[in-house]
């Protein structure tokens, strides 16, 4: 059972447009919500992360919006560029003594057309 559900599976936007990827989670014990970016042939790399005590976090063109009551969070990419074309994964984890195990969403393949 997928504890973190991600949509859409794929997304095509034009250069300069806004890309929006959504995630929903079930486990209310999750307290850390990162987004990872993966280019073909590479491993995922941390893009941006948020904790549930804030509703929004912005880093450059990338923004996470977090809705704790709805158990949803989303990634917004403003002024999308062809170089943003990649697969994006949302994830969640709980703080525990045995390390930071991540539960990932299914992934979204983003294509930004020039």
Torsion (CA) 64, 69, 72, 77 in degrees, nearest 10? -20
- Compute the least distance from the CB of residue 111 to another protein, in Å: 16
Regarding beta strands 33-38 and 45-50, do their DSSP bridges make them parallel or antiparallel, or are they unpaired?
A: antiparallel
Smallest gap from residue 38 Cβ to another protein (A): 8
Cβ closest to another protein, residue 35 vs residue 84:
35
Identify the burial level of 90 via C-beta atoms within 10 angstroms of its C-beta, where 0-12 means exposed, 13-18 middle and 19 or more buried: buried
User: How far apart (Å, rounded) are the C-alpha atoms in residues 89 and 82?
Assistant: 18
Rounded to a whole number of angstroms, the minimum distance from the CB of residue 14 to another protein is: 25
Q: Which residues bind another protein (CB under 8 A)?
A: 2, 4, 6, 9, 31-32, 34, 41-46, 49, 89, 93-107
Q: Two tokens at 28?
A: 């209310």
Residue with Cβ nearer another protein (43 or 60): 43
Q: Which is nearer to another protein, 59 or 79 (CB)?
A: 59
């Amino acid at each position: 059972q997928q504890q973190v559900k991600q949509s859409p599976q794929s997304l095509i936007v034009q250069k300069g447009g806004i890309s929006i990827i959504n995630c929903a989670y079930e486990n209310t014990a999750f307290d850390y919500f990162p987004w990872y970016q993966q280019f073909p042939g590479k491993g995922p790399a941390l893009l941006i992360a948020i904790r549930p005590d804030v509703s929004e976090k912005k880093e450059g063109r990338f923004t996470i919006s977090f809705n704790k009551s709805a158990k949803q969070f989303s990634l917004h990419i403003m002024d999308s560029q062809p170089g943003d074309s990649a697969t994006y994964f949302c994830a969640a984890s709980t703080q525990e003594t045995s390390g930071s195990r991540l539960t990932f969403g299914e992934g979204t393949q983003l294509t930004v057309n020039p």
